[in-house]
Structure 1
């Protein structure tokens, strides 16, 4: 039965954590969905959660859900702010969307300590420094 399902591969779609601003006291971070495709994404759903070990104990954050009717071609959507304290956890984003009548989905996971200056790039479309998973 699984062999009968289409293999809809997610390409040219990224989830990025961008540095928005910096002060002496703190940094401001946001998570973005980046559509690098030439077509719009429709009925977009994103769930986010954090999990892992901190100070020897298992930790889980709340699951947050976000919906967007459409993400235009070559554009981005702000998903949510993210607290720097969660960078030591796995930060998971599960994306589902339609193109026409075909559904696509993919899980993006920022591993612990992967959101660091050494991994920064200039994020396409958003034009800010950050870390992106394609």
Structure 2
């Protein structure tokens, strides 16, 4: 059954954890979806969760669901604020959207400790530093 479904490959879509501001005491981060395509995407839905080991115990965050709606070509949208306390966990974002009535989906997984200053790059369209998965 699953083998009978077409393989709809997600291209030119990214998820990024972006540093939106900082003070000497705290850094503020937000997760964005970025549409690098020349076409809009429709009915964008993202579920997010964190899981892994912290202080020797297995932990899970709540599963959050975000309906973004339609996202224009070459644009981005904020998904959620993210607390640096969960950077030590695996942070998973499962994206689904439509183009011309065809559904696409992909998991974006930020591994533990991957959101660190050494991995920051310039995030296109958002124009701020962050960590991006394409």
CA distance in structure 2 between the aligned counterparts of 1:132 and 1:68, rounded to whole angstroms: 19
Is 1:92 the equivalent of 2:92?
yes
Partner of 1:39: 39
CA distance in structure 2 between the aligned counterparts of 1:17 and 1:3, rounded to whole angstroms: 33
Aligned pairs for 1:2-81 (under 5 A) are 2-81=2-81
Partner of 1:83: 83
Shift of 1:2: 2.5
TM-score in terms of structure 2 length? 0.98
TM-score in terms of structure 1 length? 0.98
CA RMSD of aligned residues (A): 0.6
Return structure 1 stretches of 4+ with deviation > 6 angstroms.
none
Structure 1: runs of 5 or more not aligned: none
CA distance in structure 2 between the aligned counterparts of 1:50 and 1:2, rounded to whole angstroms: 27
Structure 2: runs of 5 or more not aligned: none
**Number of residue pairs matched by the alignment:** 134
CA distance in structure 2 between the aligned counterparts of 1:67 and 1:10, rounded to whole angstroms: 18
